[in-house]
A and B are shown apart, each in its own frame.
Chain A
């Protein structure tokens, strides 16, 4: 019974492309891409309590890995995905080590520094990284290919996260989140688990970055990976709420689809209507659901359980 929702979701995802046009398949794949990135942030923030506003930087690194490998070495595009997973894992661990000294808002702003700085590097080292024009993969992919690969990645990453979080490691993560002192005195090694969480989280973001590059016609460009992307992942994570893997899907759909929907609202007419509607809806959603969809799900579950108990008591 526990697997029913997962099976239903998988079947729906497998059948969906037959009902969608190419453009909408592209949109649906961007939901999957944000899903992978937001899941990464959720592992870090929701389970170990370390916050990051710098996941756009890891996405940039993953994206450039794919573009460089494909352009310079003609590597198979799918083969670049595990490679960017491995490289961004190492990057995440390297960032996680200094991050051990920081916490809360200082950690958030230090990671924000990454989000700001990394997209500037291709501009500085333009010979190697292509400057503001960016790099392109040696060939582009079809919408259907992208849909299949990105949802497959989303499924793999989801299962990986589930396996990781359900056992010993997940327990250690949560202990670190709830109280570092208590976790350390119960024998959980803080440095190891905290840097490991950073690595896993960054690796997920790296894969998302590779897919992101494939979704933008194979271009890795600095301004695509700007501060706004990091903020979007944070927005998605907040709308999703922390601690629930299912909420992530709602968060991903929110950041991937809302700009599309709000762009077609004829409220202001001009292209700027998109920003107005997006900002407004985001504020309203946070006012209504300060703990995100995960909070909503928890409230509904409590309500249903309460109603059942009340019924049982009444009869």
Chain B
């Protein structure tokens, strides 16, 4: 039996794609959800406020989830250190503002440093194990998680730190609905960074090379794409997205070494919700999760703060059981 299993399993495996993009039921479901949000917001001002706050929160989940998806697509590995890398870069921004830089100057400088950090991490510790074992790479990212946590706590301490507020504390009023400038700014910055990234991937030569390296590494290297460098740049871009998520998280939870740990868990849920392979899915999953959690927290009495994480993961489990590759995921069939 084992012999037979080995012989059959050893035959060359070929992936063939069955369906692509969004399936009809998922599309209808998302449309219905969007319509529900619009109608609800028109009816109740509390509903509208919670929806906007949820979208802002969800945009943060979405950008970190997108960072996870970028790395997953290229290397089939979940980067457990993504949140801690984001946290570390936020501390760098904090240090820059302490040295007298203005917030936005520090912001953009940090994004550059985050890119370098991501590339260096990939070159130093990921590349050596990359082709040996997926589990080894995952464990290395867990090691990075612990290491970065220790380094940051050693350098800056575990107590709360405060940065200047990026958007001020203004509140806009539209009719009876109050939107904080903070929420709107977070939403805009996150969405803008996602759009910029999409433009990079869709319309530049570098983006094309990166997509090629992720989808068909062997074929890409045959036509002259330097696959290893593309993977390193992918890690860099993921770190930049993480830095955006970290900097946008800071105004709500303030600076502390644990600030991104819960966010990372929500980002996992968002990424799986969207289907792990799909960048659009990660963003939609993040937004949907943010809004859903806020509305459930507002209207369902049983769902207290302790149940926020379990509810997020219950949603994830239900989606996975109905559609095992997430909302936007493609089904992959392996021929034996």
Contacts and interface: CB of A to CB of B under 8 A. Distances in A.
Interface of A: 51, 98, 101-103, 105-106, 108-110, 112-114, 116-117, 120-121, 123-124, 171-172, 174-175, 178-179, 181-183, 185-188, 227, 231, 234-235, 238-239, 268, 270, 272-280, 282-283, 286-287, 290-291
Given A116-B309, A120-B306, A101 B321 contact: yes
A278 B145 CA distance: 11
B147 A110 contact: no
Contacts of B76: 105
Interface stretch (B27-35, B149-157, B219-227): B149-157
B8 A182 contact: yes
Contacts of A286: 129, 136, 139-140, 143
A235 B139 contact: yes
B235 to A, nearest CB: 15
Contacts, number: 160
Interface of B: 1-2, 4-9, 72, 76, 78, 80, 125, 128-129, 132-133, 135-136, 138-140, 142-151, 153-154, 265, 268-269, 272, 276, 304, 306-307, 309-310, 313-314, 316-317, 320-321, 324-326, 336
A36 B309 CA distance: 28
Q: Which 4 A-B pairs have the closest CB atoms?
A: A279-B147, A275-B150, A179-B9, A113-B313
Contacts of A179: 5-6, 8-9, 336
Given A109-B78, A181-B336, A291-B132, A279 B148 contact: yes
Nearest to A125: B306
B307 A106 contact: no
A113 B269 contact: yes
A198 B321 CA distance: 17
6 contacts: A108-B78, A110-B272, A117-B309, A277-B150, A279-B149, A283-B143
Given A124-B306, A283-B143, A286-B143, 15 more contacts: A105-B72, A106-B276, A109-B316, A113-B314, A117-B309, A117-B314, A171-B1, A174-B2, A175-B2, A178-B2, A182-B9, A182-B336, A188-B1, A272-B151, A279-B143
B144 A291 contact: no
Contacts of A171: 1-2
A292 to B, nearest CB: 8
A276 B72 CA distance: 26
A175 B8 CA distance: 11
Contacts of B307: 120, 124
Nearest to A222: B306
Contact of A287 (B140, B142, B268, B309): B140
Nearest to A124: B306
A276 B151 CA distance: 6
Contacts of A277: 150
A112 B271 CA distance: 14
Contacts of B336: 179, 181-182
A112 B150 contact: no
Contact of B313 (A117, A272, A276): A117
A283 B147 contact: yes
A306 B246 CA distance: 53
Contacts of A117: 309-310, 313-314
Contacts of A114: 313
Contacts of A239: 139
A106 B9 contact: no
A109 to B, nearest CB: 5
B265 A98 contact: no
Contacts of A291: 132-133, 136
A114 B135 CA distance: 20
Contact of A235 (B4, B5, B142, B314): B142
Contacts of A51: 135
Contacts of A109: 78, 268, 272, 316
